[in-house]
Structure 1
């Protein structure tokens, strides 16, 4: 069980190295400069969608959820039969009827059957899976990441990718111009000179971006697709903050609970099966939009057989449209009947999300939120804290991770609807980023997610409502200031 935090100690950066603090401050300063430049020169990139207006549009619920198998689209009766079987296992929940119809209508993405989904907890497990996939690649590797650091882990990835490129496997990389701003250009040039094709997503330098300069539009996705048949995605960037040592040769840690407190806590999934083509489509769209070389369809979209029994939907959001990921999560919360377990790294929500969470708790749903106890973004934490009182008053349970940094973005609702992705509950993620989330409809995977969440609570402290009200005036002022800046966070 999580410890109850009765006397609150403010999270400070005392356990961070000087390099980490400097990196944090540099990225924060760059973000503010980018925001100012974007507002002054080109205006905002997107807006927070009116989720309630969409959910009240009865026409959206007339759409039937579309289910696709490795053999093609299923009929309406076949689709209903699949969901009814899942409902029989999970118990009655509006998640599997009303919410799925809405999710289908606003996203346009089908539910795809026949997939194998493997939960990957933390950087070490994810990197091992990524290196194994790279080593097994025979045709092509597509990698899209927000941060590609030139540190030890980054060099390991670069060396592994160069080796595959030299074996005739085409490697294509999209890295974000802001997220990777601290990485030396020579690092990327080294891969480029070995035949790897790279594009920088929306360069911060207006001269490099040309007429496409859009400093507020960021690619926050983390995605690797190998041979068009395997995808690894979630919240994990390529950086040594997630793990130490040579990951490609590392052995399983005998005491993972100790290691996870020393490195960044994050979550990914490995997916095999027909739904991988959905991930590939999102990569290719960004690749071409950013000026990447044309890709031969048959090389990147092979015929895919069923690999398991998981039902998956891939949600990709772009700021030019409203965030389907955000609206989908609010709808799922509003239709929850038993439990809502959410882990989020950067919590700076708008009123719609707060009302949905508080409303669920007041109607008896077990709502638990897990946030970082320490963060790499100085303004995010007080902004999040500014909402704690109203959430606690509504009956929401709040936990603070006690390790180095919690970076995961996951949710499980009613034990059957789960999502793992790159999208946070802050304005930047909702309105200005390209994001990607994986939705899994599965009781078994939901149980895995719930078990993972409960393990995380063992390394967390639960906020006590009465003790929370005793925090200092200075902290309240800090929270009010950060809350006023939430649209910038």
Structure 2
């Protein structure tokens, strides 16, 4: 299998098989107390432009957010727990813009790069040597030549097929290029973990503007998934459907901290001094939390927060995700939400670049459908989005798939946005995808072919490693 989002070198699969056969110890997802979301509520602090807000200010903002949405107890039941789990602050005064698909996202990213004056920090899983990859490389080189410092952190497996000369050209021009967990053990640094990958997608310009979400830097994203725009890659049959964010405001400092921490953890060279943390005035009204997860932590922060949000849901859970191979606890959370009357709707792929993940996920359809979870498969595109909306007021967009690899082995990055205003934007996007999706009917699903049963069984065997 040569998967785009889960790209691995062929020899890595031999290593995977050997590991399974030898029965080596492996990580496991933590078990969370079932009533964790019902712990006593504590005050939820918020952080503004000038630092932490007072308890009264924080309470006023949360009350405004709650009053703007549908009746829900998510703010009182969930936010204090999320604060305890994550530790990163809820920040106010942010502007957040939804970006859908490659063309719109790339235009916004390249425009931000062109306007850079001090530095550019970029972290990516895939950076291909194709039309789009070369366009980004040229844009970065042009800014480096102008005295803007460019720092690039790229995953070794994700960029395995990109020629070394591509990155050598960047390095020769002064771009700081750091390879995350090199595939080659001979070039590995202390603390090397071959199965840990940097799946984050993050671009920060001048410490003031940031992009994050699911998009990689590759020509496969060159076509819009809702229109008939011509694709740069003539061999690609389907457009890729992805979702990203453009954010400005105080939360950018939290994203900058995550980038710099990842650089340090990978033992990168000291970065040239720049204004990495400029003053960040309020530019909007969005309340946002940045959440980074890594295998070095006791558990995935994004996983814990998502479980908490689903466990606190009262009216609706709406999830769109590209790679759905859930663990038993996430499955149980979805089933329990449906059982208490919450409307749970999943939009999942009908086509995929990862055959094993696709069928591993489908092996769970029976249980979910019987529990009342509504499942739709997005037609006509390769679905790559990773979004969730709970009760219309809690939304997340990021790089995290709903599979074991994202929760256990990957460095991931998500943002959580609170409030009905942004929630409505996500809801509108969800409904648009829903209209372009086909419902999975339980009766029809039970009549699927023995071949599909076999494929699901085989996919389930590899679920942990995908």
TM-score (norm 1): 0.89
8 A contact 1:152–1:240 mirrored in 2: yes
Distance, in Å, in 1 between the alignment partners of 2:35 and 2:291 is 17
The aligned residue for residue 236 of structure 1 is 215
Distance, in Å, in 1 between the alignment partners of 2:3 and 2:83 is 44
Note the alpha carbon deviations across 1:412-457, whole angstroms, 9 max, x for none.
Answer: 1111100000001100100000000000002111111011011111
The aligned residue for residue 279 of structure 2 is 303
2:337 to 349, 357, 360: 360
8 A contact 1:119–1:269 mirrored in 2: yes
Asked whether 1:100 is paired with 2:79, we answer yes
Asked whether 1:118 is paired with 2:97, we answer yes
8 A contact 2:6–2:158 mirrored in 1: no
Do the aligned partners of residues 228 and 380 (structure 1) sit closer, same or farther apart at CA in structure 2, a change above 3 Å counting? same
The aligned residue for residue 150 of structure 1 is 129
8 A contact 2:4–2:353 mirrored in 1: no
8 A contact 1:45–1:216 mirrored in 2: no
Once the two structures are TM-superposed, the CA of residue 293 in structure 1 deviates from its matched residue by 2.6
Distance, in Å, in 1 between the alignment partners of 2:463 and 2:325 is 6
SS in structure 2 at match of 1:434: strand
- Kindly report which structure 2 residues correspond to 1:82-481, keeping only aligned pairs within 5 A, or say none: 82-243=61-222, 256-259=226-229, 262-295=238-271, 299-321=275-297, 322-481=299-458
8 A contact 1:93–1:335 mirrored in 2: no
Which range is displaced more, 222-231 or 282-291? 282-291
8 A contact 1:46–1:319 mirrored in 2: no
8 A contact 2:7–2:157 mirrored in 1: no
Once the two structures are TM-superposed, the CA of residue 476 in structure 1 deviates from its matched residue by 1.0
Once the two structures are TM-superposed, the CA of residue 62 in structure 1 deviates from its matched residue by 5.2
Do the aligned partners of residues 460 and 281 (structure 1) sit closer, same or farther apart at CA in structure 2, a change above 3 Å counting? same
Do the aligned partners of residues 165 and 386 (structure 1) sit closer, same or farther apart at CA in structure 2, a change above 3 Å counting? same
Distance, in Å, in 1 between the alignment partners of 2:277 and 2:19 is 36
Which range is displaced more, 286-295 or 350-359? 286-295
Which range is displaced more, 338-347 or 25-34? 25-34
Distance, in Å, in 1 between the alignment partners of 2:28 and 2:365 is 24
TM-score (norm 2): 0.93
Do the aligned partners of residues 334 and 74 (structure 1) sit closer, same or farther apart at CA in structure 2, a change above 3 Å counting? same
Once the two structures are TM-superposed, the CA of residue 234 in structure 1 deviates from its matched residue by 0.2
Once the two structures are TM-superposed, the CA of residue 40 in structure 1 deviates from its matched residue by 9.2
Distance, in Å, in 2 between the alignment partners of 1:136 and 1:366 is 44
Do the aligned partners of residues 163 and 243 (structure 1) sit closer, same or farther apart at CA in structure 2, a change above 3 Å counting? same
Cα RMSD (Å) of the superposition? 2.4
8 A contact 1:70–1:305 mirrored in 2: yes
Do the aligned partners of residues 257 and 397 (structure 1) sit closer, same or farther apart at CA in structure 2, a change above 3 Å counting? farther
Higher-helix-fraction structure: 1
SS in structure 2 at match of 1:375: coil
8 A contact 1:146–1:237 mirrored in 2: yes
SS in structure 2 at match of 1:173: strand
Once the two structures are TM-superposed, the CA of residue 154 in structure 1 deviates from its matched residue by 0.2
8 A contact 1:275–1:312 mirrored in 2: yes
Aligned length in residues: 459
Q: Which stretches of structure 1, 4 residues or more, deviate above 6 A after TM superposition?
A: 20-26, 37-45
Do the aligned partners of residues 135 and 42 (structure 1) sit closer, same or farther apart at CA in structure 2, a change above 3 Å counting? farther
